[in-house]
Amino acid sequence: MLLCSLVLELYLPSCNSLKEKRSKIMSLKTLLKNKFNISIIEINNHKVELWQRSELGIAFVCNTRNEIENLVNSITQYVDSRRDIQLISKDVQIY
């Protein structure tokens, strides 16, 4: 059994306030959690003055490395497909 830790750095170009940022991030977190059955949290909240940036921490468990790679690809493709959010970077750790 393998554990995957995924960090996504996001750019939200249309956000003009903290309220807008929180709304978009909450919506994305709920959609990802329900669609992919993962644990997800917004990290680096000390950067709240950066309304157009966010980082999400994601964790999940799979039986094989191939399953992890497929799930990471599915998650990043889903985030990339959103018009209101741009994926800046991803960091994958497998334990």
Q: pTM value?
A: 0.91
Domains of the chain with bracketed CATH? 2-94 (3.30.70.1120)
Helices (H), the chain: 18-36, 65-81
**Residue 44 has what pLDDT?**
77
Arithmetic mean of pLDDT over the chain: 93
**Residue 46 has what pLDDT?**
58
The average pLDDT across 53-61 equals: 95
